[in-house]
Chains A and B, each alone.
Chain A
Amino acid sequence: MAALLSACFVVASLIPLAAQDAPAARAPELLDNAALAARLEALAKQHPECAALLPIGFTRQRQPLNVLRLSNGQPARGQPGILLVANIDGPQVFGSAVALAHVEAIAAGFAKDERIKAFLSNTTLYVLARANPDAAAARFAKPLAEVEASGTGVDNDRDRRLAEDPPADVDGDGVIAWMRWKDPEGEWIADPADTRAMSRADAKKGQRGEYKLAVEGRDLDRDETPSEDGALDALLNQNFPYEWQEHAPAAGRFPMDEPESRALAEFLLARKDVALVITYGTLDTLVEKTKSVADNAPPQKRIPPAGWLESDANLLAELSKRYGELTGNKTKGRGSESGSFQAWAYQHRGLWSLAIPLWDMPTEAKKKEGEAADKDKDKDKAEGGEAKDAPEAEKPADKPAERAAGGRGAKKDEAKANEDLGRLKWIDSAGESARFLPWKSFAHPELGEVEIGGFAPYARSEPPQSEWPEMARKELDFLLSLGADLPRIAISELSAQRLASGLIEVKAALLNDALLPVHNKANARADSSRPLRAKLVLPEGAKLIAGSTQTLIRDLGGKSRRELRWLVLCESPTQIGLKVDSDHAGEATAMVEVKP
């Protein structure tokens, strides 16, 4: 068992960086916090021409949080930026491996790769490879457990004791798995189609519940519920202010209370050059169509309706299409966006928030090479194009067993149980047997005869290792393609014409040639970026008689042009200048000669 596990879930030790000629596309590696930090530090040291390590704060356990900045030297003022955030969800450690692979490929390719050079010439890339080091540490700890919570703990079972019943490795096999045991009050059955899978008993099918289900652990407080009260409860990715669930233990004491969430937020507030955020997590805004509402949809009791604003959603759909073409990723998102970073970044800060679920375990058997590929395409066409419903409100589970610190992934309701059957089919067909631990009897000290097994930790968050290099390459491909889409202002015309002896007409045209507008609708609504500022620079003695010295522009769209006009009084030959600056669409200056 242990050998099989380690074959699939390699815990990479500290690998010294190879010599300067590291390959452009490096296979992703799972590194623990210390190793990851060391790799990023080494990268910044080795590539000072394009890489800088920016400390942004500390975790609850005092682990450093570092953002790696990639740019062509010092980024030009106002140059648009992309932020990549990975591993904000504890179990999504794989995302940090992909993020690390990206930064190493970009740093290595900066000198020679034309595409990377072009990207970094006018875009800044910020990478927070591991936003949740505290929870991620569990990936490399013994016993192996999937841990989501890194923050404030509460008395989950309300017995006035704190953390008296955490998950634990009861059978000492080095893994904290699941337990099922027979109990007349149990609501679960071993699914008749595959007794490895647990399904909720369906009275309509004549099924009667037989089992209780919980994360592996003791029942030290003898309340007949094992592992229901761990030390920690709050999740970073439920601690953001958008639709923050007050009083949900997973949401924390108040928004931005968790130091990691706050550090990330403060970083974004300070970095007004960031216009687009990519998050590798379980949520999705790119694979399937995101719910949208009309730009001017009326609020309900003052609160704006959920969903992306339509104009923004339409542009997101363009990016979504390209993402599908470049990566072929069809992973469905899961979980609720309440309190999430991804939703906050768009809804409250008006940033393009591309939420990417890198991988989830497929829910059907693996296709043999070439087999039934066409059938799948037709199936996708028939099902595709449907707007995804608003992400299912997967409320923080009320049942203590499911909410135990480390509460693992999916709520097991009927629909998902059926999906477990599909997952098992995939496991069997793909030869990934380590991902499911067969149920094994065990004499539990408090509960009596139990069976321990179930889906292994991280089984749903890490694809087969053979797929990692290609996945990373495709995601990098998509990331690099976004550079050209970011708004950038240019002064496409600046002219000055004498209308009469002292009277000059100045005309200018500002251009944003990119797909994305300077301010998207959510950004304009939140007023979170300042408008474009166009300043007319007049020489001594010249007087402005029509127009403003400073024009603020809030609505320069994608592939759009804006004309400005002034009338100036000036007798002598002279020069008139125009300076345009912004938070995240770059800057432009131009000068025009005025003949006598």
Chain B
Amino acid sequence: MLALLLAAQAAAPAAQAPAPGAGGFPGLPANHAPKVEIAWNRLYDTDQLYALFDKLEAAYPALVKKQVIGFSTENRELRVYVLTNSAKGTDAEKPAMWIDANVHGNEVQGGEVVLYTAWYLLENFGHNPRVDEMLNERAFYLLPSVNPDSRAAWFRDAGDASSNRTGRQPMDDDGDGLFDEDPADDLDGDGHIVQMRKHLPGEGTLRLDPDDPRLMLPVPPNDKGIKGDWIMLGEEGTDDDGDGRANEDDVGGYDMNRSDPSMWMPEHVQRGAGPYPLYWPETRAIAEFLLAKPNLAALQSFHNSGGMILRGPGAEAFGEYAREDLRVFDDIGRDGERMLPFYRYMIIWKDLYSVFGGFATWGYEGLGVISFTNELWADAQQFPDASKASIVPTGRKGDLFFDDALLMGAGFVDWHPYQHPLYGAVEIGGFKKDVGRVPPTFLIEEMLHRNALFCLKHAEAMPIVRIAKTEVSELGGGVRAVDVVFENQRQIPTRTAHAASKKIGTPDLFTLEGQGLEVLAGGWRNDRFRPERIELAEREPARLPSERGIPGRGELRVRWFVRGNGTARIGWSGEKARAASATVELR
């Protein structure tokens, strides 16, 4: 036990053994009390979420800094929390991972994932060498809510699970010249917007399920002679604008995850896309922030629901992603499947549906960075034990059993009568907004931890460049060959194949210089055994740009031909890893 504690406390002097009850590793239950206690069995509205981040910032001022990158439609702050150990360099000097959530206002639990990721890193810093590396050598840009307006509305207002997906800029959805004039309505004032049904004996399309009157079944085709007694009337509400349709012009009516420049398409191709890319202040602020961060090397976005680890392309028309990059995607994606039960690694356009202008697809297609979107929470998580399949109810019946047995029926509003101004006597009932897309409270923390650690697995894969070997050989006539092996120790290349092919960002730079030294020629070695097989640079051999960079878990070998005596300074610089350098004496 003591040995374990000492290993975890590698950074701390051996004399300071931690007192029991404090300073252990949060993933292991013994001897740990976090500095900042946060309840993980619940969700937080916008103000509460921001307040918790502020608490973390106050507790760890050297490790986390808030940056306001813009303002939402309703003038809430768009906050990016920059996590890195400033004592070991600024975020700009290190490869960085961007993590965001909640672009759709109702997809709330990603906000907690981002919070948990921050908390986990901060609480573990100084107790775990891999976490130490994460904050010393890397940086994180954490945006807990892209859509703080609608997050607030999801918590505050009556709604259902799909309410508040949009932003809150008014839109004329039905073309009648009025804006947001016909939203869904909480007719019975119970704080929920559910469904309406009407009893029409012998004239309906549905009949009650004999096993559970809360459920309805379709009526078989007419020739069987069975009549239905019920019709569904749709979402709770009235025809507020008297145009013959109910609830057709709710707040907003657009999709901020169809706003990004890669493969952007207008409304008639991609619903919700808005008038032009990055039209809304939220999406534009994020794009401007990321375009100014050449050190961005990994990107993750959180949505709900379905249990998915998604990668692009979002549109079939884009074509295939580059083979070398797909190897990285597949590696991380498959590990994700192992870490996240019930989550499937999927291609957006192929396995889900077409998405034009998605944010994470822009992360790769536009910025050249490996990017994923996770859809949190899969229905199957309600009954995770596959061996019980034969006795577990499925579909709606399963949902109701889960709610009845494990939530004391709290998730379902039972059908109750209401006098509707147009339809007369109806019944109102259905599942509440926090059923179906967000986990029940007792399953939140596991979701948070597994997804946070998926992010960290991706972050660990960001490049680390080292000069692995230098070798000098005399060629005669005062000329020496300096052979250098530049190594990338991690899986993500210093430049993705896509970035290299589209000339995104700036190329890597390989340099050799020193006083009294003249670099006569230089280039890339193609063969470790045949030194003459070199791609010589046409000019400026002391300064070699490389569009393709150093492959993931790979190397580039350079040979320079140098004349003179002195100290040669060899360097690598690039966007996505800390600069590397070495010196070698040439005498």
Q: Which residues of A contact B (CB under 8 A)?
A: 155, 158-160, 222-224, 240-241, 244, 246-247, 253-256, 265, 269, 299-304, 347-348, 525-527, 530-531, 533, 548-550, 552, 554, 581
Q: A269-B275, A303-B265 are in contact. List 18 more A-B contacts (CB 8 A).
A: A160-B509, A223-B538, A224-B538, A246-B502, A254-B287, A256-B276, A302-B315, A302-B317, A303-B269, A304-B269, A348-B266, A348-B276, A530-B172, A533-B176, A549-B242, A552-B174, A552-B175, A554-B175
Given known contacts A222-B539, A530-B177, A302 and B269 CB-to-CB distance under 8 angstroms:
yes
Q: In the bound complex, what is the Cα–Cα distance between A253 and B262 (angstroms)?
A: 11
Q: B424 to chain A: which residues have CB within 8 Å?
A: none
Given known contacts A160-B506, A241-B266, A348-B266, A246 and B366 CB-to-CB distance under 8 angstroms:
yes
Q: Are A530 and B509 in contact (CB under 8 A)?
A: no
- Could you tell me the distance in whole angstroms from the C-beta of B395 to the nearest C-beta in chain A? 31
Q: In the bound complex, what is the Cα–Cα distance between A546 and B540 (angstroms)?
A: 84
Q: Which residues of B contact A (CB under 8 A)?
A: 172, 174-177, 242-244, 261-262, 264-269, 275-278, 287, 291, 315-317, 354, 356, 365-366, 502-504, 506-507, 509, 538-540, 545, 547
Q: Are B315 and A301 in contact (CB under 8 A)?
A: yes
Q: Are B177 and A254 in contact (CB under 8 A)?
A: no
Q: Are B264 and A550 in contact (CB under 8 A)?
A: no
Q: B261 to chain A: which residues have CB within 8 Å?
A: 244, 246, 254-255
Q: B316 to chain A: which residues have CB within 8 Å?
A: 301-302
Q: Name the CB-closest residue of A to B275.
A: A269
* Pairs across A and B, CB under 8 Å, 30 listed: A155-B506, A158-B545, A159-B540, A160-B545, A222-B540, A223-B538, A224-B538, A241-B264, A241-B266, A244-B264, A244-B277, A246-B365, A247-B502, A253-B291, A254-B366, A265-B276, A301-B315, A302-B269, A302-B316, A302-B354, A302-B356, A303-B315, A304-B269, A525-B268, A527-B267, A527-B268, A530-B175, A530-B177, A549-B242, A581-B177
- Could you tell me the distance in whole angstroms from the C-beta of B500 to the nearest C-beta in chain A? 10
Given known contacts A241-B276, A247-B503, A255 and B268 CB-to-CB distance under 8 angstroms:
no
Residue of A256, A300, A526 touching B278 (CB-CB under 8 A)? A256
The list of the 4 closest CB pairs from A to B, nearest first, reads A254-B261, A301-B317, A247-B502, A530-B175
Q: In the bound complex, what is the Cα–Cα distance between A158 and B507 (angstroms)?
A: 7
- Could you tell me the distance in whole angstroms from the C-beta of B510 to the nearest C-beta in chain A? 11
Q: Are A265 and B267 in contact (CB under 8 A)?
A: no
Q: Name the CB-closest residue of A to B174.
A: A552
Given known contacts A256-B278, A303-B317, A533-B176, A526 and B266 CB-to-CB distance under 8 angstroms:
yes
Given known contacts A246-B366, A301-B315, A255 and B264 CB-to-CB distance under 8 angstroms:
yes
- Could you tell me the distance in whole angstroms from the C-beta of B475 to the nearest C-beta in chain A? 26
* Total contacts A-B at CB 8 Å: 102
Interface residues of chain A: helix, strand, loop or mixed (majority): loop
- Could you tell me the distance in whole angstroms from the C-beta of A537 to the nearest C-beta in chain B? 14
Q: In the bound complex, what is the Cα–Cα distance between A303 and B270 (angstroms)?
A: 10
Q: In the bound complex, what is the Cα–Cα distance between A269 and B172 (angstroms)?
A: 14
Most chain B C-beta atoms within 10 Å of own C-beta, residue among A246, A269, A304, A525? A246
Q: In the bound complex, what is the Cα–Cα distance between A269 and B266 (angstroms)?
A: 14
Q: In the bound complex, what is the Cα–Cα distance between A222 and B244 (angstroms)?
A: 72
Interface residues of chain B: helix, strand, loop or mixed (majority): loop
Given known contacts A254-B278, A348-B266, A552 and B176 CB-to-CB distance under 8 angstroms:
yes
Q: Are B277 and A254 in contact (CB under 8 A)?
A: yes
Q: In the bound complex, what is the Cα–Cα distance between A240 and B365 (angstroms)?
A: 18
Q: In the bound complex, what is the Cα–Cα distance between A222 and B317 (angstroms)?
A: 41
Q: B540 to chain A: which residues have CB within 8 Å?
A: 159, 222-223
Q: Name the CB-closest residue of A to B354.
A: A302
Given known contacts A255-B264, A527-B267, A158 and B503 CB-to-CB distance under 8 angstroms:
yes
Q: In the bound complex, what is the Cα–Cα distance between A548 and B243 (angstroms)?
A: 7
Q: Are B275 and A255 in contact (CB under 8 A)?
A: no
Q: Are A526 and B277 in contact (CB under 8 A)?
A: no
Q: In the bound complex, what is the Cα–Cα distance between A241 and B540 (angstroms)?
A: 39
Q: Name the CB-closest residue of B to A159.
A: B545
Given known contacts A246-B365, A302-B316, A265 and B275 CB-to-CB distance under 8 angstroms:
yes
- Could you tell me the distance in whole angstroms from the C-beta of A551 to the nearest C-beta in chain B? 10
Q: Name the CB-closest residue of B to A253.
A: B291
Q: In the bound complex, what is the Cα–Cα distance between A347 and B175 (angstroms)?
A: 20
- Could you tell me the distance in whole angstroms from the C-beta of A48 to the nearest C-beta in chain B? 30
Q: A246 to chain B: which residues have CB within 8 Å?
A: 261-262, 365-366, 502
Q: A302 to chain B: which residues have CB within 8 Å?
A: 265, 269, 315-317, 354, 356
- Could you tell me the distance in whole angstroms from the C-beta of A343 to the nearest C-beta in chain B? 12
Q: Are B175 and A531 in contact (CB under 8 A)?
A: yes
Q: A581 to chain B: which residues have CB within 8 Å?
A: 177
Q: Are B269 and A299 in contact (CB under 8 A)?
A: yes
Most chain B C-beta atoms within 10 Å of own C-beta, residue among A254, A526, A531? A254
Q: In the bound complex, what is the Cα–Cα distance between A52 and B539 (angstroms)?
A: 58
Q: Are A526 and B365 in contact (CB under 8 A)?
A: no
Q: Name the CB-closest residue of B to A257.
A: B278
Most chain B C-beta atoms within 10 Å of own C-beta, residue among A265, A549, A550? A550
Q: In the bound complex, what is the Cα–Cα distance between A527 and B244 (angstroms)?
A: 20
Q: A155 to chain B: which residues have CB within 8 Å?
A: 506
Q: A265 to chain B: which residues have CB within 8 Å?
A: 275-276
Q: B277 to chain A: which residues have CB within 8 Å?
A: 241, 244, 254-256
